[in-house]
A = this chain, B = another copy of it.
Amino acid sequence: MPRDEERFAALAELAVGGANVQPGQVVAVGAEVGQERLVRAIAAAAYRRGALYVDAKLFDPYLKRARVDLADPATLGFVPRWYGSRLRTLAERGDARIGIAGVVAPEAMAGADPARSGRDRLPWLAETGAVVAARATNWTIVPCPHPGWARIVYPALPEAAAYERLWRELWHCLRLDEPDPATAWQQRTAALEAAAARLSARRFDALELSGPGTELTVGLLPTSRWCSAGGFTTRTGLRHLPNIPTEEVFTSPDPLRVDGRVAATRPLVLPDGTIVRGLRLEFEGGRAVAVQADANGAAIRAQTEADEGAARLGEVALVDRHGRVGPLGTVFHDTLLDENAASHLAFGYGFPFAVEEPDRARVNTSAIHIDVTVGGDDLDVTGVTREGERVTVLRGGEWRL
Contacts and interface: CB of A to CB of B under 8 A. Distances in A.
A42 to B, nearest CB: 9
Given A33-B58, A58-B58, A60-B56, A67 B47 contact: yes
A70 B41 CA distance: 12
Contacts of A58: 33, 58, 60
A387 interface: no
Given A40-B62, A60-B40, A67 B53 contact: yes
Contacts of A86: 80, 82
A43 interface: yes
A36 B62 contact: yes
Given A43-B63, A43-B67, A55 B36 contact: no
Interface stretch (A71-79, A133-141, A302-310, A376-384): A71-79
Copies held by the complex: 2
Interface centre among A43, A63, A89 (most CB of B within 10 A): A63
Interface residues of A, number: 35
A44 interface: yes
A269 interface: no
A63 B54 contact: yes
Contacts of A53: 67, 71, 75, 78-80
Interface of A: 26, 33, 36, 39-40, 43-44, 47-48, 50-56, 58, 60, 62-63, 66-67, 69-72, 75, 78-82, 85-86, 89
